[in-house]
Amino acid sequence: MPKSTLYRVSFLNQGEVYEVYARSVRSSDIFGFVELADFVFGERSSVVIDPGEDKLQREFEGVNASLIPMHSVVRIDVVDKSGTAKVTPAGDGSKVTQLPIYTQRGPSNS
């Protein structure tokens, strides 16, 4: 049986960098979005619970697929095994900066 591909995806969400693991990453039918599906989280058998991963697991609980704006995606890696999903601040000391978003302005009414 072929091994299922596993992706580690980092993206910006409300001033934080989310790093999640998913089995399915593809271009969405909605232009400008990346679709993440089949999220993978760590085993619940351990006594120690990581609060960052627990937050993400609760946030994506019951979600079949999530559409992430393309300009928010920082990085997508193909990995051999799942790690710990995490949330880190993307503040002033961070090496991650969101790309500027350019919008078309209509004619000025001045």
* Residue 46, both tokens: 């351990």
In a domain, 25, yes or no: yes
pLDDT in tens, 2-44: 568 999 999 998 888 899 999 999 999 999 999 999 998 876 5
Per-residue confidence band for 1, with pLDDT thresholds at 50, 70 and 90:
very low
Specify the pTM: 0.73
Structural domain tally of the chain? 1
Is position 73 within any domain?
yes
Residue 107, pLDDT > 80, answer no
Is residue 75 in some structural domain?
A: yes
In a domain, 99, yes or no: no
For the stretch 31-52, what's the b/e string if a residue is b when 16 or more beta carbons lie within 10 angstroms of its beta carbon? eebbbbeebbbbeeeeeeeeeb
Which domain, by its residues, includes 72?
6-89
